[in-house]
A and B are shown apart, each in its own frame.
Chain A
Amino acid sequence: MAERASESVLRFEQVTVCFPDVVALKDVSFSVPAGETRIVFGAAGSGKSVMVKTALGLVKPESGHVFLFQQDITGLSEQELFPTRAKIGVLFQEGGLFDSLTIQENVEYPLLNQIKAAAAHERNGNLETRVREALRFVELEHTLEKFPSELSGGMRRRVGIARAMVTDPPLMLYDSPSAGLDPITANTIMALAVKARDTRNTTSVIVTHRYQDGHLMANFRYNPESGALEPARRGSGIHERTVFMVFGEGSLVFEGTQEELEASTDAYVSKFKGIKELR
């Protein structure tokens, strides 16, 4: 476990990403070891989502290197990236569900892709079982035959989580999972992120603008017996393995623990501190 923890799952080395009118990421460097949770804060347009897309290879950096599972993906072509991307689960801001497919087809999509990639004839019979299992994880098993447009925003986000984790990826990227949702639904989504981390031991990178999301990830654990979240014991490793980052105008301006974030006197970083007492 110690050996695994030292392995870097995602690493940025002096990454700069430019768009025609703007520099989206400026010389960003960080490393996410296996089993760690990263909470990424930042104002709108600070480069958080671009960082996620760069990590996936959807956006190519102008300079620097991105490493996924120890492999430099910077110069890889779209086709060469697919095997690496298959090891990552992504939840897009709006869920990114295919609106012409049913929920079942959406969730089985990554599974089918993996089967196709392995061998066309190896279609295993337990496809539906795995889809149902993933939907049960987000408590939406009854929506199999529905289309995304028939679900609420929070439900679509939950289906997005089911689709992201149906292949059991070692790395999960969440792009603003709670954005635009009411506090109750937002907490449900974040509880699923905690559950995914604790039951599947996934490394998580969570882009958010809500301090509560980071607090929840850093201080709560999923209890499989009660099926609910409960405060994590100090020393359990959860708090220690949750690292906060703050982006500002494309640069990584803060990286540290929750306590270091709380103690920061930087005016910009301080804006992301929030209420600590949450249920």
Chain B
Amino acid sequence: MLDLLKTPVLALQDFCVLCGRALRNIVRRPHYFDDIFLQMDIIGFGSLPIVILTGFFSGAVIGLQMTRALQTYGATGQIGPIVAVTLVRELGPVLSSLLIAGRNASGMASEIGSMKVTEQIDAMRALGTDPIQKLITPRVIATTVTLPMLTIIADFVGLVGGFIVAYYLLNLTAGQYWTPAYQILEWNDIAQGLLKPFVFALVISLVGCFYGIRTTGGTQGVGRATTQAVVVASVWIFILNLFITRIFVNV
């Protein structure tokens, strides 16, 4: 029984140590600004098309799905607030984070994992560079900066998607859609809508890098690390989403 627990407990310990060192390095020299901006470009700008597409169609689908229910009550004018609240509180952060987990946690795990199995990490350490400082901290910073921004963009584009449904199918005017959509949003919604991607970004980057840096077993190991990184990051996004939502929603 103890042997069964040993591996996950040791992995958790390693993960905590890695988190501590990666976060501590944010304030320690040397800072690899080139790597931070490169990662921001890869994670942020590189993910923009897919986040825009997903956000737009999510907003449009929410609008469509809600239409039938709202028509029953003659409340189609409420389409804007419903799309806004759903996107800003939940779908925007969670969908964007899941996309980034799929796209970038896998990328981080495979890139760092490949470096590990080809002795590049050892070479880096031997040449006087802390691989956590050089490889992991820039990815953590880049993800935590860009994911909230991507979420804001996804939210806005989703609202545009909802507006197109409302305008063409429900014949609402721009004012009838945008004004209540804007008015319904409170600071509480904005706060959780930004806190979630920030926390998820930490999870995605740290989990991706963690599985990458502990890769063993050649190319097969890299594939395994990549899969594990995406699965674990995605699961933690759902779990943490529940806890963060609970903090903001008083029942």
**Chain A residues near B (Cβ < 8 Å):** 53, 56, 58, 78-79, 82-83, 85-86, 88, 90, 92-94, 96-99, 109-110, 113-114, 116-117, 120, 163
Can you name 22 A-B pairs with beta carbons within 8 Å?
A: A53-B122, A56-B126, A58-B126, A79-B130, A82-B128, A85-B125, A85-B128, A90-B126, A96-B120, A96-B122, A96-B126, A97-B123, A98-B123, A99-B118, A99-B120, A109-B127, A110-B127, A113-B127, A113-B128, A113-B129, A116-B30, A163-B127
**Chain B residues near A (Cβ < 8 Å):** 30, 115, 118-120, 122-130
Whether A92 lies near B128 (C-beta < 8 A) is no
Whether A94 lies near B118 (C-beta < 8 A) is yes
Whether A117 lies near B119 (C-beta < 8 A) is no
Chain B residues with Cβ under 8 A from A93's Cβ?
119
Closest to B126 in A: A90
A82-B30 Cα distance, complex, nearest whole Å: 13
A96-B120 Cα distance, complex, nearest whole Å: 5
Given contacts A92-B119, A94-B118, A96-B120, contact A78 B126 (CB under 8 A): no
A99-B120 Cα distance, complex, nearest whole Å: 8
Whether A86 lies near B118 (C-beta < 8 A) is no
Closest to A173 in B: B126
Chain B residues with Cβ under 8 A from A79's Cβ?
130
Whether A117 lies near B128 (C-beta < 8 A) is yes
Whether A86 lies near B128 (C-beta < 8 A) is yes
Q: How far is the CB of B124 from chain A (nearest CB, A)?
A: 8
**Besides A88-B126, A96-B119, 18 new A-B residue pairs in contact (Cβ under 8 A), listed by A number:** A58-B122, A78-B125, A82-B130, A85-B125, A85-B126, A86-B128, A90-B127, A92-B123, A94-B118, A96-B122, A97-B123, A98-B120, A99-B118, A99-B120, A114-B128, A116-B30, A117-B128, A120-B30
A110-B126 Cα distance, complex, nearest whole Å: 9
Chain A residues with Cβ under 8 A from B120's Cβ?
96-99
A189-B118 Cα distance, complex, nearest whole Å: 20
A248-B61 Cα distance, complex, nearest whole Å: 67
A88-B123 Cα distance, complex, nearest whole Å: 12
Chain B residues with Cβ under 8 A from A109's Cβ?
127
Chain B residues with Cβ under 8 A from A113's Cβ?
127-129
For B30, B120, B127, B130, the residue with the greatest tally of chain A CB atoms inside 10 Å of its CB is B127
A58-B125 Cα distance, complex, nearest whole Å: 7
Q: How far is the CB of A152 from chain B (nearest CB, A)?
A: 16
For B118, B119, B123, the residue with the greatest tally of chain A CB atoms inside 10 Å of its CB is B123
Closest to A78 in B: B130
Chain A residues with Cβ under 8 A from B124's Cβ?
98
Chain B residues with Cβ under 8 A from A90's Cβ?
123, 126-127
For A96, A97, A114, A116, the residue with the greatest tally of chain B CB atoms inside 10 Å of its CB is A96
Closest to B124 in A: A98
A114-B119 Cα distance, complex, nearest whole Å: 21
Closest to A79 in B: B130
Q: How far is the CB of B53 from chain A (nearest CB, A)?
A: 28
Chain A residues with Cβ under 8 A from B30's Cβ?
116, 120
A186-B128 Cα distance, complex, nearest whole Å: 28
A94-B30 Cα distance, complex, nearest whole Å: 28
A43-B45 Cα distance, complex, nearest whole Å: 50
A85-B128 Cα distance, complex, nearest whole Å: 6
Q: How far is the CB of A30 from chain B (nearest CB, A)?
A: 20
Q: How far is the CB of B46 from chain A (nearest CB, A)?
A: 15
A94-B115 Cα distance, complex, nearest whole Å: 12
A83-B129 Cα distance, complex, nearest whole Å: 11
Q: How far is the CB of B126 from chain A (nearest CB, A)?
A: 5
Q: How far is the CB of B100 from chain A (nearest CB, A)?
A: 21
Chain A residues with Cβ under 8 A from B119's Cβ?
92-94, 96
Chain B residues with Cβ under 8 A from A96's Cβ?
118-120, 122-123, 126
The 8 closest A-B pairs by CB, nearest first: A96-B123, A82-B128, A96-B119, A92-B119, A113-B128, A90-B126, A110-B127, A86-B128
Chain A residues with Cβ under 8 A from B118's Cβ?
94, 96, 99
Chain B residues with Cβ under 8 A from A92's Cβ?
119, 122-123, 126
Closest to A84 in B: B128
A117-B122 Cα distance, complex, nearest whole Å: 19
Q: How far is the CB of A171 from chain B (nearest CB, A)?
A: 12
Q: How far is the CB of B16 from chain A (nearest CB, A)?
A: 17
Chain B residues with Cβ under 8 A from A163's Cβ?
127
Q: How far is the CB of B31 from chain A (nearest CB, A)?
A: 10
Chain A residues with Cβ under 8 A from B125's Cβ?
56, 58, 78, 85
